[in-house]
Structure 1
Amino acid sequence: MMHTQLEAREISMLRAEIEILMSERQSLLKIAGTAAQLIAKLDNKILLGNACEFARALSVNLNVLSEETLCDALEKVRKKPIASE
């Protein structure tokens, strides 16, 4: 009986951890999608100082994402209109 209760508690804890991770993934997808849209609209000729280097680094990191993940990220931000648009 004690063993079953322990397993049930462990399963509950794992379920809670998975929910936290999925929530964090959704947030990270929104961030990546927004960053991808920003990079797509930037004009590197008008960036000042180190901004061009940072934009290039961000672009490189976005390009490392799998196509599926990047599509998921863009889908996340396309579903909700941005306030400034």
Structure 2
Amino acid sequence: MSLNLKNEEIAMLRGELEMLMRERQALLRIAGSAAVFIAELDPEVLPEETYEAAEMLAECLNEASEETINDALSVMKAAITTEQPAL
């Protein structure tokens, strides 16, 4: 295998890995947002027609590993921290 071809393959794999890491960050933001949303829901004021959707979301979150949820919440915490103005 020529050096040029190997370098092209490495560059292609690097690009693919970077894309996957961006996708992972996006999915962690989604999962973190969903976890915060579910945690903040008040079943006393939640419209009855939304129970099923909230339950589906909660079940999906419960299927994720603890490590994934912790990573997701860390991403959200960092996002919230950077969005709030300093006092």
TM range (shorter): 0.7 to 0.9
Q: Which residue identity is paired with 1:33?
A: G
TM-score (norm 2): 0.84
Distance in 1 between residues matched to 2:50 and 2:3, nearest whole Å: 56
TM-score (norm 1): 0.85
Q: Distance in 2 between matches of 1:25 and 1:48?
A: 32
Tell me how large the CA RMSD over aligned residues is: 1.9
Determine helix, strand or coil for the equivalent of 1:80.
helix
Q: CA separation in 1, counterparts of 2:5 and 2:66?
A: 40
Q: Hey, what does 2:78 align to over in structure 1?
A: 79
Unmatched runs of 5 consecutive residues or more in structure 2: none
Q: Distance in 1 between matches of 2:70 and 2:18?
A: 22
Give 1:22's aligned residue: 21
Larger CA deviation: 25-34 vs 38-47: 38-47
CA distance in 2 between counterparts of 1:44 and 1:53 reads 12
Kindly state the Cα deviation for residue 50 of structure 1 after the two structures are TM-superposed: 3.2
Superposed CA offset, 1:17-68 (max 9, x none): 1001101111111111011010011022322253111111000000111101
Q: Distance in 2 between matches of 1:58 and 1:12?
A: 38
Corresponding residue pairs, total: 83
Q: Distance in 2 between matches of 1:76 and 1:47?
A: 27
